[in-house]
Amino acid sequence: METNVLYYGDNLEILRKYIPDNSIDLIYLDPPFNSQATYNVLFKEPVTGKPSQAQIEAFQDTWHWFGETPRTYEEICRTAPARVVEMMKAFRSFLGGNDMMAYLTMMCIRLLELRRVLKDSGSIYLHCDPTASHYLKLLMDAVFGARQFRNELVWCYETAGKSKKQFSRKHDVILFYSMSAEWIFNTREVAIPRKPNKHMKVGVDESGREYEEKKDKRTGKVYRWYFDEGRLPLDYWTDIPFMNREEAQRLGYPTQKPEALLERIIKASSNEGDLVLDPFCGCGTALVAAERLKRRWIGIDITHLAVGIMKWRLEKTFPGIKYKVVGEPVDLEGAKALAAQNKYQFQWWAVSLIGGQPYGDRKKGADTGIDGYVYFMDEKDKVKKAIVSVKGGGTSVKDVRDLSGVIDREKAEMGIFLTLEPPTKPMMVEAASKGFYSSPQGRDYPRLQILTIEECLAGKKPDLPPWVSPVPAPERARRAEGEQRRMV
């Protein structure tokens, strides 16, 4: 099995196809659920700081009780262990066919696969909020066994937005289960430095180690604690703050977690060289933490946009890193297949080929003529944009004229037309008629450029002024001098 791999696709299919039994040392997952709205991946616009219109609705059909979900419930009833079937039947009787039942059904089938791939010495951490944590704990009891429950970790944090009608909700729940009664747990890796207690005696043993001790008044037994061993964190964590908007590692991803949170989990429940899996990896914080701590990793996500973020983040954080992406088109035929399968995923993937930020709101149903933006900055404090339009087939000179009009309407500096098919001569003439953008740096750039997907796959990029990322660059990993980077 290959490691240090990003997979694009449904994690259920990826797990069944690529991940063998008893192969994973540690699983962390933060599955999306929001009973009031579709869970979306949102980016921040670099000019306004507001969420962009890139709506990734991969879970809209999955987390509702219709289509595939009832069939998955039937599969669970036919194939799952009896205790899991009985639990799901109880949920169904209580909840009916609502969104929560759909969520639990789709989580159940995936947790069964995660149990299959977890080593006997492995652990799983499921991150959720109080909306669904009580249901998920019962479900994990059924899948992994109630005796394998280790902790209900409560991550407490302070954020803006205080309620005036109820107590403010300022914590997440992380359910920690092991696969068996023998699991990896590195006490010293996550210990907090011990501070002197004025009620205890402090001393130094014959080896020079400083300690404090306390004598039990009833039994006379002496208990000793060494300062260099520290103490384990309690099961509620208040020392890891929520990420504010100004954090250097913040990528504009709404459910992004701080690296310190993932580092504590990975240090506690894995060793160097172990394999960490995140089947809902989003912007890839678990993967970054695993790479930083010298673990191997596998990440899975169902949107090309998320995979694009992870690639960018890994490469910026660990220059020269070697990894593999499975599921992305690698040639023209693959691109055509993706366009035929899902035009929105194709558009988002195509925009990511040139380092752009996808745009589009399927809910509104309106075609604005904008599929993405590429931002650049060629004079101080002025972020400018090129509008990206993507066409999967049937292109004509009319499409180029439409993009020309959108450039004027949006007051954009430039436009980029990405096409699966080679452009016709009239299309090239129309693009050339748009003229040039004159950069303050003294160079002219074609204002409307046409690139084929095949050219982009070969590495060609638009001819643009210096480019600025649509999200803040993450901090580079700091390694000890002379330390070698681990490759695949």
Longest CA span, the chain: 95
CA dihedral 42, 371, 46, 162 (to 10 degrees): -20
Write out the DSSP string of 371-412.
-EEEEE-SSTT--EEEEEEEE-S---HHHHHHHHHHHHHTT-
Provide the pLDDT for residue 477: 66
Q: Span 151-155, mean pLDDT?
A: 94
Averaged pLDDT of the chain:
84
Three-state secondary structure call for residue 348? helix
Q: 205-244: b or e for each residue (b if 16 or more CB lie within 10 Å)? A: eeeeeebbeeeeeeeeeeeeeebeebeebeeebeebebbe
Rounded CA separation 157/161 (Å): 12
CATH topology of domain 5-186+234-326: Rossmann fold (3.40.50)
Q: Looking at the predicted structure, is the pLDDT value of residue 20 above 60?
A: yes
Rounded CA separation 255/30 (Å): 9
Angle at alpha carbon of residue 438, lines to 436 and 439, rounded to 5°: 135
pLDDT in tens, 199-215: 788 888 888 888 888 88
368 or 153, higher pLDDT: 153
> Range with the lowest mean pLDDT among 14-23, 118-127, 441-450, 460-469?
460-469
Task: Please name which of 28, 26, 475 lies closest in space to residue 273, comparing C-alpha atoms.
Answer: 26
- Residue 431, strand partner residues: none
**Residue 138 and residue 188 in contact, taking contact as beta carbons nearer than 8 Å:** no
In this structure, the strands spanning 372-376 and 357-358 are antiparallel
Rounded CA separation 402/283 (Å): 33
Provide the pLDDT for residue 343: 85
Rounded CA separation 309/471 (Å): 9
CATH topology of domain 332-457: Trna Endonuclease; Chain: A, domain 1 (3.40.1350)
342 or 140, higher pLDDT: 140
**Residue 125 and residue 31 in contact, taking contact as beta carbons nearer than 8 Å:** no
Three-state secondary structure call for residue 436? strand
**Residue 28 and residue 114 in contact, taking contact as beta carbons nearer than 8 Å:** no
Q: Looking at the predicted structure, is the pLDDT value of residue 285 above 70?
A: yes
